[in-house]
Structure 1
């Protein structure tokens, strides 16, 4: 498993991580098997969110993780726990107020049965955000040792810059949706200065990938195997893509899932892939893509057959 440093922190993290949004109905034994398989593969970074849980309940997945794992203090120190806040299910709406951020973080601590969160992200942009409120919440959580590092999810460069007008802590992560078919944040870069074919998704003209690289913000890719039509691996809706995935899987003696993982981890931005599966075999399968050295021709071929124009 290839590892990397998270800039502005003391965290050394794997480039494949495990998201736990689908565990509430799993037994303790099933959760332990899932986590143990991840650990054996070199994955010691686990992603949560306060809204992960059935119905309108909150912190459900965090509680199930803690109940099943019963981590000792030493075991807790061996892993990185990340959670997210800001989405209110009952609406839905978004809330980046001081009260919501602090109360959510404190409930995450109770649910996860831990004294600190390694990283807490603002989950989706709150259009009514007041950066000073966010800054006050972050200052409180950092000064009390409840949260060690902060970041965002699904934020544009402009939204991050707005937060940085008040927040003093580095924003160390931006978790965004990225997969072979859902790759506008990468494809936009090669469409620059192409008449009539622009695919720019950043309103201010500065790509989120380049922005995060410049500012030392680690990108995390969620839904790495999803397309607008569901899982693309093995899907008849993506015959060309799957043909290339199968060919490269045979070349590297891995599975197509590993190749889809490697396509993301190959990028020099040092992205982390966030797995969402609850199947231990799929975790092990995906993890084998961590170190596959796809060539430039292979990487661009996958981009093309996934439906993106390469001029």
Structure 2
């Protein structure tokens, strides 16, 4: 099965490895050798499992995640070339001297990209994702930032996170090279993208159809639903039926319940790319089995309806 991003980047993989957890344990200390070693083991496992795409943001642990990944690239320059690297920018975390905000001004975008490149020890980003809609964004500034970054070869493709269909269409009309990726929360636990009757936050079936019509790659953030359907700490009493079903189906497919949570997304014909947040190589190897699982229609709908907690209309 091909999916939209492969038209632009043929080596794009069905699963994307989230790198936001890198360096999380050493946020207030100098870069730890152990963190880089852990990153090396994780990326080697990703390659072995066929994952060729990395996702992170300039705001992840105040840049520590990018520093860890960049140090690994500095030590092994050829490793960078084996991955498609995408970075989010535009989300400004709360600090002592300012509140949390979104900033898609030309100045901030350009500075953020340049700082990310420096941290990551690379000359370019394969994909730049605008991390949130900015109510104060000036169209001319976005156009200026994209032109300057594209002309300098620092960014190859553009995408967005958590935007509505109207916002996505507007950016498409504004820029000479429209966005090729839309990332938003999508999972068995968050199904607004699938159910038109539910209100959306940049979600809903209209988003799904729009992306399919225009060849925009959908990426599923929080694809594992924080583990609450597969025995994780976020499990709640009302999720017991879906947890039981996942456990039973996992026994049939000889896999982890988490692999089925991902396989459910992969089964959709839109060609969704789940972003997988795994810090341990063994767990990554296990959940990546989702790429080999082909759910039947009956299994897919049973998971869907059980996760809803009520019959389909």
How many Å separate the matches in 2 of 1:89 and 1:105? 16
Note closer, same or farther for the CA distance 1:107–1:92 as it changes in structure 2 (3 Å cut).
same
Q: Deviations over 1:189-216 (max 9, x none)?
A: xxxxxxxxx3242789861111111111
Report whether the alignment pairs 1:115 with 2:123. Answer: yes
Tell me, yes or no, if structure 1 residue 100 matches structure 2 residue 108: yes
Partner residue of 2:29?
A: none
Hey, what does 2:12 align to over in structure 1? 13
In 1: Cα distance, 2:20 partner to 2:56 partner: 7
Taking structure 1 as the reference length, the TM-score comes to 0.89
In the alignment, which residue of structure 2 is the partner of 1:184? Answer: 192
CA contact under 8 A between 1:44 and 1:80: conserved in structure 2?
Answer: yes
Which of 66, 72, 84 is 1:62 aligned to?
Answer: 66
Structure showing the higher helix proportion among its residues = 2
Q: Is the 8 A contact 1:175 1:222 kept in 2?
A: yes
Find the residue that maps to 2:182 and give its secondary structure: strand
Kindly state the Cα deviation for residue 3 of structure 1 after the two structures are TM-superposed.
6.6
Counterpart CA distance in 2 for 1:95 and 1:40 is 37
Is 1:20–1:61's contact at 8 Å kept on the other side of the alignment?
A: yes
Q: Do the aligned residues in 1 keep the contact of 2:162 with 2:201 (CA within 8 Å)?
A: no
1:71 CA displacement = 5.2
Shift of 1:144: 0.7
RMSD: 2.0
For residues 270-299 of structure 1, what are the alpha-carbon distances to aligned partners after superposition, in whole Å with 9 as ceiling and x for unaligned?
111111121112211111001311111211
1:233 to 209, 230, 233: 230
- 2:85 pairs with 1:86: no
Q: Which residue of 2 aligns with 1:74?
A: 78
Match of 1:193 in 2: none
Evaluate the alpha carbon distance shift between residue 213 and residue 308 of structure 1 in structure 2; reply closer, same or farther with a 3 A threshold: farther
Q: For this pair of structures, how many residues does the alignment match?
A: 295
Q: Where does structure 1 differ by over 6 angstroms across 4 or more consecutive aligned residues?
A: 202-206
1:174 and 2:186 aligned: no
Residues 1:264 and 2:265 aligned together: yes
Q: How does 1:1-311 map to 2 (within 5 A)?
A: 4=3, 6=5, 9-24=8-23, 25=25, 27-53=35-61, 57=62, 59-70=63-74, 72-90=76-94, 91-188=99-196, 198-201=197-200, 207-226=206-225, 231-234=228-231, 235=235, 237=237, 238-307=239-308, 309=310, 310-311=312-313
Q: Distance in 2 between matches of 1:121 and 1:308?
A: 34
- Structure 2 spans left out of the alignment, 5+ residues: 26-33
| Counterpart-to-counterpart distance in 1, 2:66 and 2:4 | 25
TM-score, reference length from structure 2: 0.88
**Taking structure 1 as reference, are residues 109 and 294 closer, same or farther at Cα in structure 2, changes over 3 Å only?**
same
Against the structure 1 CA distance between its residues 203 and 80, is the aligned structure 2 distance closer, same or farther, given a 3 Å change threshold? closer
* Alpha-carbon separation, structure 1, partners of 2:112 and 2:250: 42
For the residue of structure 2 that corresponds to 1:170, the secondary structure is coil
Which runs of 5 or more structure 1 residues have no equivalent in the other structure? 189-197
Say if 1:79 and 1:269 are closer, same or farther in 2 by CA, change over 3 A: same
Change (3 A) 1:308 1:157: farther
- 3-state DSSP of counterpart to 1:70: helix
